[in-house]
Amino acid sequence: MRFRKHDKISLWALLSLLLCAMQSCVVQRIDHTPYAQTDYYRHTLQALEEQPAVTSKEDSLQVGWAKVNITPPIGTPLAGYGKRKGLRYSTVHDSVWVRTFAFDNGQAEVIFVALDMLITPMKVAAALEKEYAALGLSPGHVYLSATHTHSSFGGWGQRLVGRLMAGRYSKQLVQQTTAQIVQSIQLARQNKQPSRLGYGIAYAPQLVRNRLTGSLVGRDTTIRFFKIEQSSGKTALLVTFAAHPTILPSMDPVLSRDYPGELVDQLEKSVDFGAFAAGAVGSQAVVAPHGESYESTAAVGEALAAAILEQAPAVEMKSTARLGFARHPLLLPKPQWRLNTNYRFAPFLFHWLFGKYPTYMSSMQLGEAILLGVPADYSGELLPALERQGQPVIVTGFNGGYIGYITPDQHYYLRKYETRAMNFYGPQSGSYLTEILSRIMRQYKLSQPK
């Protein structure tokens, strides 16, 4: 078939129009609408009012703990770095575990779960929700967290990006991990004894740097920990810290807990049980004194353990405690995964690559301290706004969802990995999530006796 000249011009015009239309579908301008003017903000506030945190009066406390080995077979993919492209590990340097606490004051029971994994995978969190009823629990009773080691196992991501970050999906592995978490909850509950609880802090400024700005003030250098003593004399420590567990070489086919594993192992030379959950790790990098090596993971773990154990004897312990819990729906804007300074990919493309999962905030009260669980790498630079609420506060990430890196709004235009490639929900994510977290804290504060 031959085309006349004007037919060729018309065809080219049509093709150009189609290409422009396709581009408008795939690429859109970034939305700068103030979040306080949006429906997702109003609906999130409404949900907070309708589903406030459940709190109990102070009463005699019982605590139990347990751990279960969740190490899958050699040949399972690693999770944590896209450039691995599903690399499978051939060596286990140190096994990975789920470590669980059950806190009960006779009026309320709350469960804290810490996984030696990159995140609490969305598929695992969804599978767990089918198990809670048989345990007499609701999703709000169970606070999920992860150590965020980048050298633990994958196999839990289904969409393209999930497979890139965590290797080929395995339904069997998801089911196995879910069953092991349930087992740890059952064991922790069985091991409950009358206990005393205390909250303490220590500092490790030499082990944290701000990898986003290099600022010395933009760091969270605080180690936050709970100390528990059972009536039998056994003791435990639950620890959070904000430095990213990314010491080990990304392309080594080795399974490891990174520095959190070394920290727990060191603690358990002095106490009966230790557990670690990643804190506000967004923008917070660990300082590895000996480079990408196990000498560095050991040095960091030992330094953190020493700082904690030095402060632990001075922690005030109480045999009664107020417990609280909630799971708060978090509505979000349409994804704003950026192409460049002014344009984003269309939401449908983001969801096709990443998937679409429920998002929520978790919260738990242990004594006077409030724990806030977020589905993100939440930046330690944002913590001062929460600390100004006047209560001890601990932020942990990776609670069963994932919405990317949450950093201060003023950093949005920095040409850095965290603010460009991993900011999924736009220029106001930091202020939006921080306001919601502040409101959750105020709910707990208002529930306290006058």
Neighbour-count burial of 51, counting CB atoms closer than 10 A to its CB (0-12 exposed, 13-18 middle, 19+ buried)? middle
What pLDDT, on a 0 to 100 scale, did the predictor assign at position 447? Answer: 78
What pLDDT, on a 0 to 100 scale, did the predictor assign at position 86? Answer: 86
Cβ-contact 399, 410 below 8 angstroms? no
Q: What is the pLDDT of residues 370-399, one digit of tens each?
A: 999 999 999 999 999 999 999 999 999 999
The first and second tokens of residue 204, run together, are 């490790």
What pLDDT, on a 0 to 100 scale, did the predictor assign at position 4? Answer: 44
Confidence of residue 10 (pLDDT cuts 50, 70, 90): low
Task: Report the 10 Å Cβ neighbour count for 113.
Answer: 23
Confidence of residue 137 (pLDDT cuts 50, 70, 90): very high
Q: Residues 4-15: what's their mean pLDDT?
A: 48
Is the confidence at residue 101, as pLDDT, over 70? yes
Cβ-contact 237, 224 below 8 angstroms? no
Is the confidence at residue 20, as pLDDT, over 60? no
Q: Residues 197-217: what's their mean pLDDT?
A: 96
CB < 8 Å & 24+ apart, contacts of 337-344: 337/424, 338/30, 338/420, 338/421, 338/423, 339/27, 341/413, 342/29, 342/30, 343/27, 343/28, 343/29, 343/30, 344/27, 344/28, 344/29, 344/30
Is the confidence at residue 17, as pLDDT, over 60? no
Binding residues for Zn(2+): 148
What pLDDT, on a 0 to 100 scale, did the predictor assign at position 438? Answer: 97
Is the confidence at residue 14, as pLDDT, over 60? no
Strands (E), 211-349: 222-230, 235-241, 254-255, 273-278, 284-286, 320-321, 323-329, 343-345
Is the confidence at residue 1, as pLDDT, over 70? no
Is the confidence at residue 222, as pLDDT, over 70? yes
Is the confidence at residue 6, as pLDDT, over 50? no
What pLDDT, on a 0 to 100 scale, did the predictor assign at position 446? Answer: 82
Is the confidence at residue 38, as pLDDT, over 50? yes
Q: What is the pLDDT of residues 302-335, one digit of tens each?
A: 999 999 999 999 999 999 999 999 999 999 999 9
Q: Residues 267-273: what's their mean pLDDT?
A: 98
What pLDDT, on a 0 to 100 scale, did the predictor assign at position 25? Answer: 74
Helices and strands counted in the chain (H then E)? 11, 25
Cα torsion angle, 105, 106, 110, 112, sign? positive
Binding residues: 148
Kind and range of the H or E element at 196?
strand 193-203
Q: Residues 420-430: what's their mean pLDDT?
A: 94
Tell me what the pLDDT averaged over the chain comes to: 93
Q: What is the DSSP letter of 404?
A: B
